[in-house]
Amino acid sequence: MNDFLWWRDGVIYQVYVRSFADGNGDGLGDLPGLISRLDYLSDLGIDALWLSPIYPSPDADFGYDVADHAAVDPRYGTLGDFDRLLAEAHRRGIRIVLDMVMNHTSDQHPWFRESRSNRGSARRDWYIWSDRPNNWKAAFGGSAWEHDAATGQYYLHLFTRQQPDVNWRSPEVRAAQLDVFRFWLERGVDGFRLDVYNAYFKDAGLRDNPRKAGLRGFDRQHHLHDMDQPEMMPLLRDLRALLDSYPERYSVGETYLATPAKTVSYCGPDKLHAAFSFDFTRSDLVYPWNPSWIAHRIAARESVFNAAGVWPTTVMSNHDLPRAAGRYSRGEDDAAARMAMALLLALRGTPFLYYGEEIGMRDISLRRREILDPPGKKYWPVYKGRDGCRSPMQWDDSEHAGFSRTAPWLPVHPDFPRRSVASQAADPGSLLSFTRSLISLRRATPALVKGDYAPVAAPRGVLAFLRGLPQRKVLVAMNFGRREAALDLDPAVGMIGRVLLSSQPGSKGMEAGRCELGPLEVVIQEVTA
Ligand code: NOJ
């Protein structure tokens, strides 16, 4: 493809480093382990890796509590290992995106230690201190304010109390944080994923949030004053100018409490390149799975992103959500996982593929005493936390699934003797083989990458859409039903042609002019004028 732009036209693969590959046998994934698996990632056909946080961290929130932004946690390796990863990835044409956690730090970060040391500390105003807590709640439960007995004030934390929120209104904080970006840009990092970027600024007067109905304390408020403040826009302009002073750098924001409209407001030529709108992963823990809901969500995002001229992103799974394969299927059948994969890779937007999604990894289930994730500990059994989707990558059927030589930090899913990279690589009918074929079809088919999206009228239970450029269109059809289905295309739109890919080898839909779908089948077909 000419004018290929990696972050727009490529596939970005999320590596949750501590669960991907353990190089030194301590039960935690690390950078040398990741380097040893780069050939696998290259064969899969991905274009970039987003690494979940690799910085020194006491792990109150598993890396999202950063104690030093400009270093690598010794458990993951060294800065030298990181440079080697960068060089080895670049040699294979793979870009590296780092996770930047800039809304808060660890309470063990030297900035916070100094800030909390006394009220007169030079860094007191690097965090948000108050004599009186307002009504804000922490996303992981309880008040967002923690009393500091030594200095008699409260500090703000939107997540755990070990993650104090920094005060982006301080010019020194702003300069120090931008220096962190510069540090990694100078090392050659290609882009950044910004953790909860839209919460950086809080209302200057710390006004109470209005109340609303909801399940947890955090959901019972309109988040009017603790996020989405106008001061974010000038900051994004400064950040973008910094990124643009290097060639082809990228930023993607994790929009907190995302909607398509909110997401696009932060993107543009002088703001973020892209941001997550999480269209298929609702935050209320209900994940509907039917063609009309999905078609509705696609239409909503298409109209908003198109009107704003912003390039969308597609996410089906990540380290905060139950994995898509398990959300939509019971047992080990992968038909629904194939459909989710086809959506991820055939919609308009940059696909973010979560490690293990390509082999349909399922969440592990843990007993209460095994739960590590803070919100899981707090809300169990109503909400069991996020450990389930963070289990070790299943490489093969050897002990610990080839992830490590020793017992890993979280248990391996017991299905690993049947579900692994090794077993699926050898099987042309596997989800891994389907994913590889989809990625390579996408790469070879500009209509699937850059083409417009247009819904197609389909029988009940079928989702169908066209991705098209004027010269070439393709039809993507998915049968959510357990009976066969067929689809006709209005001749004014075009003629259905050759099958380019089917989730069921030996698919019937070979006949030009018609699209025939088996139960739970996904077909991608050419459309001729
Ligand atoms: C969003 C991250 O994705 C999540 O894992 C983390 O717990 C919170 N931000 C706090 O950093």
In this predicted structure, the answer to whether residue 113 has a pLDDT above a threshold of 70 is yes
pTM higher than 0.95: yes
Record the tokens describing residue 55, joined without a space.
């910085």
- The whole-angstrom separation of Cα 355 and Cα 241 is 32
Rounded (5°) CA angle 388-138-279: 55
Gap between the Cα atoms of 371 and 408, Å rounded: 14
Supply the DSSP symbol for 166.
B
Provide the percentage of residues in the chain whose pLDDT is more than 90: 92
In sequence order, the 6+-apart residues with CB closer than 8 A to the CB of 179 are: none
SS3 410: coil
Q: Mean per-residue pLDDT for 258-273?
A: 98
Close Cβ partners of 95 (under 8 Å, ≥ 6 residues apart): 6, 7, 10, 47, 48, 49, 89, 190, 191, 250
CA angle 56, 62, 68 (to 5 degrees): 20
pLDDT score of 469? 83
Look at residue 319 and tell me whether its pLDDT is greater than 70: yes
| Structure-block tokens of residue 117 | 């040391």
Band of residue 252 on the pLDDT scale cut at 50, 70, 90 = very high
Is the pLDDT reported for residue 508 higher than 80?
A: no
Report the distance separating Cα 314 and Cα 345, nearest Å: 8
Instruction: Report the distance separating Cα 78 and Cα 160, nearest Å.
Output: 27
C-beta of residue 475 within 8 angstroms of C-beta of residue 489: yes
The 10 Å Cβ neighbour count of residue 105 is 28
pLDDT reading at 160 higher than 60: yes
pLDDT tens by residue, 347-375: 999 999 999 999 999 999 999 999 999 99
Q: Please give the structure tokens belonging to residue 350.
A: 């940059």
- Residue 319: which of 263, 389, 375, 255 has the closest Cα? 389
pLDDT mean over 208-237 = 96
Q: Which of 21-35, 114-128, 491-505 has the lowest mean pLDDT?
A: 491-505
Residue 184 in contact with ligand 1 by CB distance below 6 A? no
Mean pLDDT of all residues in 448-455:
96
Other beta carbons within 10 angstroms of residue 405's beta carbon come to 13
Ligand 1 atom closest to 386 (CA): 5
Query: Tokens standing for 246?
Result: 């290097």
Please tell me the distance between residue 2's alpha carbon and the centre of ligand 1 in angstroms.
36
Q: What percent of the chain has pLDDT over 70?
A: 98
Question: How many C-alpha atoms does 309 have within 13 Å on its Cβ side?
Answer: 4
Single-letter code of the amino acid located at 35: I
Ligand 1 centre to CA of 294 (Å) is 26
> From the CB of 315, is ligand 1 less than 6 Å away?
no
Q: Residue 509 pLDDT > 60, yes or no? A: no
pLDDT in tens, 395-421: 999 999 999 999 999 999 999 999 999
Statement: residue 323 has pLDDT above 90: yes
- CA-nearest residue for atom 11, ligand 1, is 64
| Token pair of 259 as six digits | 């909607």
Give the confidence band of 203 by pLDDT, cuts at 50, 70, 90.
very high
Of 196, 256, 283, 386, the residue with max ligand 1 atoms within 8 A of its CB, to mutate for a pocket test, comes to 196
The answer to whether the CB of 46 falls within 8 A of the CB of 36 is no
Catalytic residues: 195, 254
| CA pair distance 374, 58, nearest whole angstrom | 13
61 C-beta closer than 6 A to ligand 1 = yes
Residue 428 is classified by DSSP as T
Q: Do the bridges between strand 274-275 and strand 250-253 make them parallel or antiparallel, or are there none, so unpaired?
A: parallel
List, in sequence order, every beta strand (DSSP E) within 73-183: 95-100, 129-130, 145-148, 153-156
Q: Is the pLDDT of residue 26 over 70?
A: yes
Pair 485, 462: CB distance under 8 Å: yes
- Distances 500 to 146, 440, 525 between C-alpha atoms, Å: 57, 11, 5
Q: What is the pLDDT of residues 486-502, one digit of tens each?
A: 999 998 889 999 999 99
pLDDT at 466 over 70: yes
pLDDT band at 507 (very low <50, low <70, confident <90, very high): low
Q: What is the pLDDT of residue 215?
A: 86
Report whether 340 contacts 378 (CB < 8 A). Answer: no
The overall average pLDDT reported for the chain is 96
* Coil, strand or helix at 339: helix
Question: Could you write out the DSSP letters of every residue in 323-336?
Answer: -HHHHH-STT--HH
* Integer Cα distance of 106 and 33 in angstroms: 26
- What local confidence, expressed as pLDDT, does residue 511 receive? 57
Residue 285 pLDDT greater than 70, yes or no: no
Q: Whose CA is nearest to atom 2 of ligand 1?
A: 195
